[in-house]
Chain A
Amino acid sequence: MTADPVVDPANWSCPAPLRDQPVVVMGHGGGGALSAELVEQVFIPAYGNATLAAMADSAVLELGGARLAFSTDSHVVRPLFFPGGSLGDLAVNGTVNDLAMSGARPAYLSAAFVLEEGVELSVVERIARAMGTAAEAAGVTIATGDTKVVESGHGDGVYVTTAGVGLVPDGVDIRPQRARPGDAVIVSGPIGLHGVAIMSVREGLEFGIEIASDTAPLAGLVAAMLDVTPDVHVLRDPTRGGLAASLNEIARASGTGVRLSERAIPVPDAVAGACGFLGLDPLYVANEGRLVAFVPRPAAEAVLAAMRAHPQGTGATLIGECVTEHPGMVVVSTGLGGTRVVDLPLGEQLPRIC
């Protein structure tokens, strides 16, 4: 066990070596501190450019006079089909949502498949069809693709990587650094459904009622919000690492504090029950069809109304505000009147012993 001076994980931007982790562990893909450390300490130094270092869900690039949002995402999920969706839905919605979180109108996607030898073609077909349907629903075209096959035992059935481009409207500047004290923090609906749905089928756990993933495209919802005000400061879809990870990233990138009201956060009973049973915190559970928005306070009510009028935002709720106190930190007021910090998760959440 090491006893040398170390860095607070809350400040993973410090260019320290990857301590104690000579091999990749599952937590490196969990969307928490370990994932961020991998990007900051391995990928950004290797690629060396400011666009990537902005660490937004998608990069916003100037090209031929247009402002283009560009993003890519690999999708590995077990099982391939789950209540409420499939790998195909995630592969399309994931990239569409990453583009939408820059305020972009997504236009074109690519789709690259890595198939494992022995997978039934009917499975691949079901995934491809799900992608076609999801693309149509999101208003995007899958314009190019690639297929590779790996030997049996060298993959997990099917992996899909999608990349996408979209146009960012004039006057829209949405990025984590723009959060300001006084901003209202809004979540578009109930949290935790996707993560609990996947857990219930992957681990064979039953929670009394079927919980369906919330996977959905969010570009339409974002467009409805921007119709109310182009001055939305920050958007983020809280996927891996959940709401807690997204809010921590925004707090740190902007140097502001975030204060939430625990009782205002919409956690469905089924999610709360499953999390209670497993010793997990719904704030850290993954979502695939939700967004969190930071909007200037004067516009908050109008934005909320527009969100609630959209099918993907009927459950939109004001959950907190951006503050000058505790910069870089997310703090929640508990239902009883106490307070606690909501930290960036280290890796993936682990079920507790009892």
Chain B
Amino acid sequence: MKYIDEFNDPDLARRLLDEIHATATRPWALMEVCGGQTHSIIRHGIDQLLPEQVELIHGPGCPVCVTPLDVIDKALEIASRPGVIFCSFGDMLRVPGTDRDLFRVKGEGGDVRVVYSPLDALELARKHPDREVVFFAIGFETTAPANAMAVHQARRLGLANFSLLVSHVRVPPAVEAIMSAPQCRVQGFLAAGHVCSVMGTAEYPELAERFGVPLVVTGFEPLDILEGIRRAVRQLERGEHRVENAYARAVREDGNPAALRMIQEVFEVADRNWRGIGRIPRSGWRLSEAFRAYDAEHRFDVGGIRTEEPAECRSGEVLQGLIKPTECAAFGTTCTPRTPLGATMVSSEGACAAYYLYRRMNSPMPQAARAAREEMNPVA
């Protein structure tokens, strides 16, 4: 923990902040790609401490947020079937599909289990040969290697009752899509450190060159984020645009070769829908032909699902950095973590949820909520 505490040191943070304040002479808009970074920024109040000229725009990197509605509905459909053990990371359980969520399926008798690793799901498949065990394989490049490993192991062990419902997405095509949008305001990126720890940084120099933006590979502790901002602002002030690694304790240029080999063996690049954003070419992975037998979508025939997002939800614009969560009329009124309209309010890493959870004292309290509170505490 000492190691982590050092990355929370308020004196060091103050020095980095002073340097950022001294460096920034013009307005700059930076995007942190990853929801974990957004969470850390809001949780520690980093955005409140930056100079006014430096704006942080929250990027699309929350795996829970960007998992498309039709995939959630497929998960709900599969999890409801008798004989299935449906395994998921915890934070997917509250994400609403069209008419319910995985918690509801569990409450209605579905065998839905929270696991900490896809290998836990594999172990369940080994223990219950008479049941179909399905793992909800969502996420960015960070979770892909372990999910690939689970399928690889299933084949090696001859487990025919194990499959993945895959919704993997890749960061570089998303960066490209964001920068290609005509309204884009992003001038620099804090690239997601854990994604780069797997993939390395080889995909980024071309993007930095083509769009003229600095990309600073950044970790998740408060000092990591401040250092990432410091370097990005310094580049912008100097008119530079290159890839810098501010997370060298975890990221090598060539990433993690063993993890990359595992991904390449099991997955192939495919077009993919991002919830709230739409289809981005070559932005995802699916199981390759050799492993198609382990694809839950094929095994359970859930191709007929059609879905519709609520019209008033602006989470797509939030995910693309076009608006702040509080600029959406539904924020905190019709859309709350309890009754989310969109993905960004669902996930604990989502930008709307972060603003709702941590910044409500700065938001005007909705009239109904104020009335309820006054009724509850007439003295106050």
Give 6 new A-B contacts, CB below 8 A, not counting A338-B46, A354-B142: A20-B339, A328-B376, A328-B377, A336-B49, A341-B359, A353-B143
Q: Is the CB of B116 within 8 A of A352?
A: no
Top 7 nearest A-B pairs (CB, nearest first) are A338-B45, A255-B380, A255-B377, A350-B90, A340-B358, A269-B1, A23-B107
Measured CA separation A191–B341 after assembly (Å)? 34
Q: Is the CB of B369 within 8 A of A353?
A: no
Cβ of A1 < 8 Å from any Cβ of B?
yes
Partner of A5 from B104, B222, B333, B379 at Cβ < 8 Å: B333
Cβ of A307 < 8 Å from any Cβ of B?
no
Cβ of A76 < 8 Å from any Cβ of B?
no
Q: Is the CB of B44 within 8 A of A328?
A: no
Measured CA separation A10–B43 after assembly (Å)? 19
Which chain A residues border B89 with CB–CB below 8 Å?
Answer: 351-353
Q: Is the CB of A352 within 8 A of B361?
A: no
Q: Is the CB of A11 within 8 A of B373?
A: yes
Report the minimum CB–CB distance from A2 to chain B (whole Å).
7
Which chain A residues border B114 with CB–CB below 8 Å?
Answer: 350-351
Which chain B residues border A334 with CB–CB below 8 Å?
Answer: 43-45
Report the minimum CB–CB distance from B338 to chain A (whole Å).
4
Q: Chain A: interface secondary structure?
A: loop
Interface residues of A in 2-33 (CB under 8 A from B): 2-11, 13-14, 19-21, 23-27, 33
Report the minimum CB–CB distance from A95 to chain B (whole Å).
28
Q: Is the CB of A335 within 8 A of B360?
A: no
Q: Is the CB of B369 within 8 A of A11?
A: yes
Partner of A341 from B98, B140, B357, B368 at Cβ < 8 Å: B357
Which chain A residues border B10 with CB–CB below 8 Å?
Answer: 335-337
Report the minimum CB–CB distance from B53 to chain A (whole Å).
18
Q: Is the CB of B44 within 8 A of A252?
A: no
Measured CA separation A23–B104 after assembly (Å)? 7
Cβ of A96 < 8 Å from any Cβ of B?
no
Partner of B372 from A5, A14, A203, A335 at Cβ < 8 Å: A14
Looking across the interface, which residue of chain B has its beta carbon closest to that of A20?
A: B339
Partner of B49 from A4, A253, A338 at Cβ < 8 Å: A338
Check A25/B107 contact, CB under 8 A, given A255-B380, A327-B373: yes
Looking across the interface, which residue of chain B has its beta carbon closest to that of A333?
A: B45
Number of interface residues, chain A, beta carbon within 8 A: 55
Specify which of A20, A25, A256 lies most central, judged by the most chain B CB atoms within 10 Å of its CB: A25
Interface residues of A in 249-294 (CB under 8 A from B): 252-256, 269, 272-273, 276, 278-279
Q: Is the CB of A25 within 8 A of B106?
A: yes
A→B interface (CB under 8 Å): 1-11, 13-14, 19-21, 23-27, 33, 203, 205, 252-256, 269, 272-273, 276, 278-279, 326-329, 331, 334-341, 343, 346, 350-354
Measured CA separation A327–B380 after assembly (Å)? 7
Cβ of B59 < 8 Å from any Cβ of A?
no
Which chain B residues border A252 with CB–CB below 8 Å?
Answer: 373, 376-377
Cβ of B366 < 8 Å from any Cβ of A?
yes
Q: Is the CB of B8 within 8 A of A335?
A: yes
Measured CA separation A350–B101 after assembly (Å)? 14
Partner of B64 from A19, A21, A353 at Cβ < 8 Å: A353
Measured CA separation A10–B104 after assembly (Å)? 22
Measured CA separation A279–B139 after assembly (Å)? 15
Measured CA separation A278–B117 after assembly (Å)? 11
Which chain A residues border B138 with CB–CB below 8 Å?
Answer: 353
Q: Is the CB of A6 within 8 A of B377?
A: no
Which chain A residues border B108 with CB–CB below 8 Å?
Answer: 23
Looking across the interface, which residue of chain A has its beta carbon closest to that of B140?
A: A354
Which chain A residues border B1 with CB–CB below 8 Å?
Answer: 269, 272-273
Measured CA separation A346–B138 after assembly (Å)? 23
Q: Is the CB of A8 within 8 A of B332?
A: yes
Which chain B residues border A203 with CB–CB below 8 Å?
Answer: 116
Which chain B residues border A9 with CB–CB below 8 Å?
Answer: 336-338
Report the minimum CB–CB distance from B190 to chain A (whole Å).
16
Check A6/B361 contact, CB under 8 A, given A328-B373, A339-B45, A352-B90: no
Report the minimum CB–CB distance from A283 to chain B (whole Å).
11
Cβ of B13 < 8 Å from any Cβ of A?
yes
Which chain A residues border B348 with CB–CB below 8 Å?
Answer: 279, 350, 352
Which chain B residues border A6 with CB–CB below 8 Å?
Answer: 334, 336, 338-339
Partner of B44 from A255, A338, A346 at Cβ < 8 Å: A338
Q: Is the CB of A339 within 8 A of B48?
A: yes
Q: Is the CB of A327 within 8 A of B360?
A: no
Q: Is the CB of B107 within 8 A of A13?
A: no
Measured CA separation A26–B359 after assembly (Å)? 27
Q: Is the CB of A336 within 8 A of B45?
A: yes
Which chain A residues border B45 with CB–CB below 8 Å?
Answer: 334, 336-340
Interface residues of B in 84-107 (CB under 8 A from A): 89-94, 96, 98-99, 103-104, 106-107
Q: Is the CB of B194 within 8 A of A27?
A: no
A-B pairs with beta carbons under 8 Å apart, 21 shown: A1-B310, A2-B339, A8-B369, A9-B337, A11-B372, A14-B368, A14-B372, A25-B106, A254-B377, A254-B380, A272-B1, A273-B4, A328-B377, A328-B380, A338-B46, A350-B91, A351-B91, A353-B90, A353-B91, A353-B143, A354-B36
Cβ of B132 < 8 Å from any Cβ of A?
no
Measured CA separation A340–B222 after assembly (Å)? 15
Measured CA separation A8–B345 after assembly (Å)? 13
Q: Is the CB of A352 within 8 A of B91?
A: yes
Cβ of B349 < 8 Å from any Cβ of A?
yes
Q: Is the CB of A351 within 8 A of B90?
A: yes
Measured CA separation A334–B339 after assembly (Å)? 28
Measured CA separation A354–B143 after assembly (Å)? 7
Q: Is the CB of A354 within 8 A of B139?
A: yes
